[in-house]
Amino acid sequence: MYKFQLFRAALLSGFVFWALSVSAQQDTSQVSLAADTLDFYDNPQMPDFTISAEDLDAELESQDISGILQSSRDVFTSTAGFNFGAARFRIRGYNSDHTLISINGVQVNDLETGRTTWWRWGGLNDVTRFMTIRTGLHPSRYNFGGIGGHAEIDARASNFRKGTRASFAAANRTYRQRIMATHATGMMDNGWAFAVSISRRWAQEGFVEGTPNDAYAYFFSAEKKLNERHSIGLVTYGAPSISAAAGLSVQEAYDLAGTNYYNPNWGFQNGEKRNARIRNNFQPMTMATHYYTPNRNTKLQTSVFYSFGRSGFSGLNWWDARDPRPDFYRYLPSFYQEGTTEFNAATEAWQNDVNRRQINWNRLYDANRNNLFTVENANGIEGNTVTGMRSKYIQDEMRDDLTWYGFNSVYTRRLNDRSRITIGGSGHIHTTDNYRMVKDLLGGDFWMDIDQFALRDFNNPDVAQNDLDTPNRLVGVGDRFGFDFSLHTRRFNAFSQYEINFKKLDLYFGADVSNTSFWRDSRLRNGRFPDDSFGESDVQNFTHYGLKAGAEYKITGRHYLTGNVMHQTRPPSPRFSYLSPRMRHEVIPGLTTENIFGGDFSYHIRYPRFKMRATLFYTEINDQVWARSFWHDELRTLVNYSMTGVDHLHMGTEIGIRANVSPTVELNAVYAGGQYLWNSRPTATITRDNAPEILATDRTVYIRNFRVGGMPQTAASAGLRYNSPKYWFAGFNANFFGHIYLDPNPDRRTSEALGNFVTDDPQWSALLNQTRLDNHFTADIFFGKSWRVKRKYFINVNVNITNILDNREFAVGGFEQLRYDRTDIDRFPPRLSYLFGRTFFAMVSFRF
Amino acid sequence: MKTNLIFTPLAWIVLVIAALVAGGCEREYDEPPPRVVPVGNVLNIEELKSLYQGQRVRFDTAYSVYAVVVADEQSGNLFRNIHVQDNTGAIVLRINTPGGLYEGDSVRIFLPGTVLNSFQNMMQLDSVDVDINIVKQATQVHVEPKSVTLAEVTSELQGQLLRVEGVEFTESDLGRTFANAETQQTENRTITDCDGNTLLVRTSGFANFAGATVPEGNGSIVAVLGQFNNDLQLFIRRLPEVVMEDPRCTGGGSGGGECEYDVNPVAQVAQNFDDVANDNTDYANPNWQNINVQGSRRWRGRIFQNDKYLRATGFIGQGAEVPPTEMWLITPPVIASQAPTLTFRSAQAFWSHDEDVPFQVLISHDYDGCDTEEATWTEITNLNRPTQSNSNYQWVPSGNVPLTQYLPQGYQGTYHIAFKYYSVGTQTTTIDIDDINIQ
């Protein structure tokens, strides 16, 4: 028994470090955004592939062959999640909005984007480890799920393993140190159970220069057992975090700076590194849950929840002044002809002058302190003349602050030995306050809230006002400006699932129906759209549904076939439905529900020493809308570019194998080969950003069969792990990533962009060809050891080293800039992000 | 079982609160100390401009110039060009990146890093970085534009803010916009006074008034004076500063076309054009009229090996077709003598006229000094003019041309003689004239 415990501890610790390291890698996706896209469009984050030690135990002990659908230990998912995460691999190429995450049954995907927002509970690894995760199509007793699967985090206090765990970790990734402590009482004799976890992760500077981070997290769960049938629980958690972002730049800048981890977001101020792009998030959540178990076969779990808080992302803003971002294309040598004096001077400055290569904060202060300016009729008051230092540069913060409450209820009942029914419903009332706030005037006295482009384009000072009701408004630190609106979203959902098991065949059917409505409510009347910007907009209302079914056929107790199909309609994401949400009520023309059709087919082998899964999948995600804002060089104005009829096709193969060639040696191999394609020719509409003027309609975008970008479409890994009977383990993985593309800039793929170029012109293919990134190999090693002290304390040490070969040339993602010069495509080259070089994560943990 | 105090829930709650208090704070950065910009030697604009001696001057020592911004980029008409002036003159600042300087800003320009240069005859201070080279002293300093007549507008006033009185847009520009707002092309318009003096008004297609139609009346225009080679150009700051609501001086019948021609009659003319100031600039002499009847060109002064004379040409480029170009040089009123005679010399170059005649000499005794069309002009034919057979630039004396036959019997009043040049299509022969004598 003692040996078994230790063995289990070793295994456990292995998974713990693995889970932790995956979550540490999550942070690499904190990237800055191009100026030419709305900041909303953050890179989606990957689901955190975490399985629990509990599940591992269950599998070792389980004899129930129909348990496969409930077990979350999957040979493909676990290895892929661990080895591919850093390269931005996404299972089946899906965005995270296709995977539903729930905590105590409450869906916690962002309601406006559908995306998972891991930062809301980041650092609570000891809590999220106890997660049920299923990728792909499966039955779920928590909700209808998405085409990408679902994950449920169980936050019930009595379900936490009793005991205490404390750990300290050192790393050189986004964070340098982490401390974490967790304690759970288990269900005590007095009917109470408590679980608490806190952590702090921080770094003076992460792997990338100029990226300090500091993140705290807390979790508290209490449960009171009222009687055998009723329990009530209270859960509250939050993760206040402040992190400086690494920005994506162009290859020219990386080459000049001599590193692919060049970060344009920081600069020296008084000799200290200061980063302009800071995320400051804290959206705590509190929920009360009622657990009702009237009998062995029936369970009703009802939660009410409330969440609120801030989400802020700061950046530089400027008015009638030079672009302060050091890698603006006009500051790069390539803006000049090679060999000219200007070219050489820019090269020299970039290579040798840190104040050219990075933000020159002192210069921004100097400029602001010297910009004596007189505003007449300030703040809309006739004759109110204000003279002072008007900031040309400020640091502002884009906020979307949350208020979210609702309920969720799930009822599940085993009807008989063979069948089970699950019924659930939920309601979500979700509001975000979106605004820009002055964070730092950088030495100036005030900022004036007018739009620079509008002032120049229209010979009418009213048009330039962002707040027409208070013209020439002067704002200071803490004031909102630019835009200030609420986006209200309501969703009500009901779902049901029926499962039935036969001797060789298990079947399930599921259905759900939802209603989603959303509208905009602006507190500012914008001078460009005086009649279409203020107050409440029309309500957009969509009713949508999903149907799914699946079967599992047991050829023998060791061989299974599974197949699943799903059809789902989804509303457009509220956040992406408006042409220019900051300015006006107008929605994208042709806004409609998305249509999803998907299915997968798998063959599973499960011997004690050999496990395999091979899956074919095929999914169409049709009728999507797409909208961005950017500077259009041909039309010479800032435009809102929207597309309708955007279809994606995701198809491919997943194979995972794990073989225990001896009691101590385990081999694993996974392969994911997909084709994730743009599957239609969308229709684009271009409108002016600052006037109700349609610049182009029915523009056909020729991107059918372009690859969906931002992830390796092919990934493979093989690894070996040695588990010593002496309570240590070590192993390595070798990984391959291929078919990495950047999403196409749609406007480059139109006949309008081609203009009168002919196929022989170099611009022809330069405009049309999709950006493809190189294939790469990486390798990782890991080892760990555990001790048991005085028969009751466990000490584990785990180390893993990722990218041990220090491959610093591996561009894992980025984007094609939307701004483009049709005659010279290299003027606005893609912005790229690189896999971190060799990094380590080392942890010592203590458990009793 | 003994409970360890550290792990009671209460202790954990305290820890949570402690974590919350510790978190959520962003660090404050020290503000850098204010930059001190030294003053150094102070120059006025005239002194600054005088440092230019045909070579660009890059400043690296501490000099400062105090000036006031009289025209900025806000309307989009001027891009990265800021006109500043003091009481000794004006200069254009070429700023590295747009923005940051506004009309009425009283500034100190700290010169190190900037470059003094003449761009196509326009004096400018280049490479001005507003964040580094400019120290603002005050705002809303109002500079009154200098009032001038069109005839007084010379390159001496380069860069300055002017109010030109008594002008109107030429007939051919009426109905047109200041520039092409659609294609954002910069375009030229021409204003004229009642004496036929003309000046270009140049407007950027990016100006927010580019699409406005030019006014039709006569009045005043406030603008800064630019120069491109020999063309003087006015740049408007904003539309309300073009006030042209009075009746036009020409355009007959509108009733207001009162002729204000007050050139004193002369008994004789001896014009060898020694008053030509600059080579290849429009000849300007308050007593002589130099009118562009069609097109924008006028007779230009030439200086060649110490000889000064006038030249007319429609030539714009090899093989290029030119629009009808007609320019007249008109003498002051001459009091008829007993037996008036005319002598002059003229030359041709690159003869390309076939159907039309490049050069004619006309006489009128009823010209009022304002309206050439209303007057009766008679061509003087008994004289020698260069023809295709003359070699290029070979002076041809006219001979003594008696004028009696062109004037009424016993006429004692005044008359004018006009030297008319005409060019169209590829007929762009160059004509020079010199040494006009009338007795």
Report how many domains make up chain B: 3
Q: What is the pLDDT of residue A621?
A: 97
Measured between beta carbons, the chain A residues lying within 8 angstroms of B29 are 269-270, 272, 274, 361
Interatomic CA distance for residues A654 and A361, integer angstroms: 49
Same domain membership, residue B317 and residue B222: no
Q: Among the three residues B99, B118, B138, which one is the final residue of a domain in this structure? A: B138
What is residue A455's predicted lDDT score, i.e. its pLDDT? 67
Q: Which runs of E-coded beta strand occur in A124-283?
A: 131-135, 149-153, 163-171, 177-184, 192-203, 213-225, 230-238, 241-244, 249-250, 266-269, 272-275, 278-282
Whole-number pLDDT of residue B294: 82
Check residue A30 and give its pLDDT: 27
Contact A270 B32 (CB under 8 A): yes
On whether both B122 and B194 belong to a single domain, the answer is no
Full pLDDT tens readout for chain B, 439 residues: 444 444 555 555 666 566 555 545 677 888 888 888 899 999 999 999 999 998 999 999 999 999 999 999 988 899 899 999 999 999 999 998 888 899 999 999 999 999 999 998 999 999 999 988 999 999 999 999 999 999 999 999 999 999 999 999 998 888 889 998 888 889 999 999 988 899 999 999 989 899 899 999 999 999 999 999 889 999 999 999 999 988 888 644 444 446 678 888 898 999 999 888 888 888 888 889 988 888 778 899 988 888 899 999 888 777 777 888 899 999 999 998 888 899 999 999 888 888 778 999 999 988 888 888 888 899 998 888 898 888 888 899 999 999 988 888 888 888 999 999 999 888 889 999 999 999 8
- Do B239 and B273 share a structural domain? no
Report whether pLDDT(A291) > 80. Answer: yes
* B83: Cα separation from own chain's centroid: 14
Considering the domain architecture, whether residues B233 and B278 belong to the same structural domain is answered as no
- The residue of chain B with its CA nearest to that of A330 is B97
3-state secondary structure of A413: strand
Selected residues 80-139 of chain B with any CB under 8 Å from a CB in chain A? 96-100, 102, 104-105, 130-132, 134-139
Please give, rounded to a whole number of angstroms, the shortest distance from the CA of B75 to a CA of chain A. Answer: 7
Comparing A67-71, A211-215, A631-635, A663-667, the range with the smallest average pLDDT is A67-71
> Given this model, what pLDDT does residue B15 score?
60
Total residues belonging to chain A: 848
Q: Are strands B396-397 and B334-335 parallel, antiparallel or unpaired?
A: unpaired
Indicate if B196 and B124 belong to the same structural domain.
Answer: no
Would you call B22 an interface residue with chain A, using a CB distance cutoff of 8 Å? yes
Shortest distance between the Cα of A714 and any Cα of chain B, in A, equals 40
One domain for residues B234 and B329: no
CATH number at residue B340: 2.60.120.200
Residue B411 lies in a domain: yes
What's the pTM?
Answer: 0.77
Pick among A205, A281, A370, A394 to test the B interface (most B CBs inside 10 A) = A370
Gap from B372 CA to chain A (nearest CA, Å): 40
Cβ-Cβ contacts under 8 Å, A210 against chain B:
none
Q: Mean pLDDT, to the nearest integer, of A305-322?
A: 92
| pLDDT at residue A6, rounded to an integer | 44
Across the A:B interface, residue pairs with CB atoms under 8 Å apart total: 125
Q: What is the pLDDT of residue B10?
A: 59
Q: How many other C-beta atoms lie within 10 A of the C-beta of residue A645?
A: 18
Shortest Cα–Cα distance, B244 to chain A (Å) = 20
* ipTM value > 0.85: no
Which residue on chain B is closest to A365 by alpha carbon? B32
Q: Looking at the domain that runs over A2-319+358-847, which CATH code has it been given?
A: 2.40.170.20
8 Å CB contact of A387 and B98: no
Yes or no, beta carbons of A320 and B22 under 8 Å apart: no
Per-residue tokens: A597: 């059709």
- Residues of chain B with C-beta less than 8 angstroms from the C-beta of A182: none
Are A242 and B31 a contacting pair at CB < 8 A? no
Residue A53 has pLDDT above 80, yes or no: no
SS3 A406: strand
Domain end, chosen from B138, B167, B185, is at: B138
Task: Judge whether B106 lies within some domain.
Answer: yes
Instruction: Give pLDDT tens digits for B208-219.
Output: 899 899 999 999
Q: What is the pLDDT of residue B404?
A: 87
pLDDT score for A740: 95
Residues from chain B contacting residue A233 (CB–CB below 8 Å): none
Q: What is the mean pLDDT of residues A635-644?
A: 85
Kindly state whether residue B263 falls inside one of the protein's structural domains. Answer: no
Strands B122-128 and B89-95 turn out to be parallel
A459/B102 Cβ within 8 A:
no
Q: Do A321 and B75 touch (CB under 8 A)?
A: no
Q: How many Cβ atoms from other residues are within 10 Å of residue B414's Cβ?
A: 18
Q: How far is A287 from chain B (nearest CA, A)?
A: 17
Angle of CA points A647, A652, A656, to nearest 5°: 145
The minimum CA-CA distance between A272 and chain B, rounded to whole Å, is 8
B96/A194 touch (CB, cutoff 8 Å), yes or no: no
For testing contact with chain A, the best of B8, B25, B31, B237 (most A CBs within 10 A)? B31
Give the end of a domain, one of B92, B110, B138. Answer: B138
Q: What residues of A are in contact with residue B105 (Cβ under 8 Å)?
A: 372
Confidence of residue A11 (pLDDT cuts 50, 70, 90): very low
- Residues in A touching B96 (Cβ below 8 Å): 322
B131 contacts in A (CB within 8 Å)? Answer: 321-322, 363, 366-367, 370, 392
What is the residue extent of each domain of chain A? Answer: 2-319+358-847
A181 CB neighbours in chain B (<8 A) are: 15
pLDDT value, residue B22: 52
Residue B258 included in any domain:
no
Same-domain pairing of B287 and B425 = yes
CA angle A529, A533, A537 (to 5 degrees): 135
Q: Give the distance from residue B76's alpha carbon to the nearest chain A alpha carbon, in angstroms.
A: 6
Identify from A241, A372, A637 which residue to disrupt to test chain B contact, counting B C-beta atoms within 10 A and taking the largest count. A372
CB A327 within 8 A of CB A250: yes
* Nearest C-alpha in A relative to B19: A216
**DSSP per position, A627-652:** EEEEEETTTTEEEEEEEEEEEEEEEE
Same domain, B302 and B426: yes
Residue B253 lies in a domain: no
- Ramachandran class of B274: left when φ > 0, alpha when ψ lies in -120 to 50, beta otherwise: alpha
Query: In this structure, are residues B184 and B206 in contact, taking their beta carbons and an 8 Å threshold?
Result: yes
Residues 6+ apart with CB under 8 A from A188: none
Asked whether the beta carbons of residue A216 and residue B23 sit closer than 8 angstroms, the reply is yes
Same domain, B285 and B406: yes
Q: Give me the half-sphere count of Cα atoms (radius 13 Å) on the Cβ side of residue A156.
A: 19
- pLDDT single digits (tens) A581-607: 888 999 998 899 999 999 999 999 989
**What pLDDT does A289 receive?**
97
Q: Per the CB < 8 Å rule, is B99 touching A320?
A: yes
Q: Do B349 and B374 fall into the same domain?
A: yes
Q: Are residues B169 and B242 in the same domain?
A: yes
Cβ–Cβ below 8 Å for A455 and B74: yes
Q: Which of residues 339-378 of B touch A (CB under 8 A)?
A: none
Closest-CA residue in chain A for B9? A194
Q: pLDDT at residue A73 above 80?
A: no
Q: Is B82 within the bounds of a domain?
A: yes
Asked if the structure places residue B191 within a domain, the reply is yes
- B240 chain-A contacts, CB cut-off 8 A: none
The two structure tokens encoding residue B293: 């009847």
pLDDT of residue A78: 75
In terms of domains, do B277 and B380 share one? yes
| Domain of B101, in residue numbers | 41-138
Residue A38: is its pLDDT beyond 70? no
What CA–CA distance (Å, rounded) separates B20 from A200?
11
Q: How far is B118 from chain A (nearest CA, A)?
A: 20
Report how far residue A3's alpha carbon sits from residue A13's, in angstroms, rounded to the nearest whole number.
Answer: 15
Task: Determine, for residues B135 and A220 on separate chains, whether the beta-carbon distance falls below 8 Å.
Answer: no
pLDDT recorded at residue B276: 87
The domain spanning residue B54 has which CATH number? 2.40.50.140
Smallest Cβ–Cβ distance between A216 and the set B12, B22, B96 belongs to: B22
Q: Which residues of A touch B3 (CB under 8 A)?
A: none
Chosen for mutation from B3, B4, B7, B178 (greatest number of chain A CBs closer than 10 Å) is B7
Cβ proximity of A510 and A546 under 8 Å: yes
Segment A411-466, tens digit of pLDDT: 999 999 899 999 999 999 999 999 999 999 999 999 999 987 776 667 677 888 99
By the 10 Å C-beta count (0-12 exposed, 13-18 middle, 19+ buried), A158 is classed as buried
Q: Which of B19, B96, B131 sits opposite A367 (nearest CB)?
A: B131
Indicate whether B165 belongs to any domain. yes
CB contact (8 A) between residue B134 and residue A369: no
User: What count of other Cβ atoms lies within 10 Å of the Cβ of residue A639?
Assistant: 26
Answer whether B136 sits within 8 Å of A370, measured CB to CB: yes
* Residue of B19, B96, B100 lying closest to A371 (CB–CB): B100
Instruction: Identify the bridge partners of residue B330 per DSSP, sorted by sequence position.
Output: B289, B418
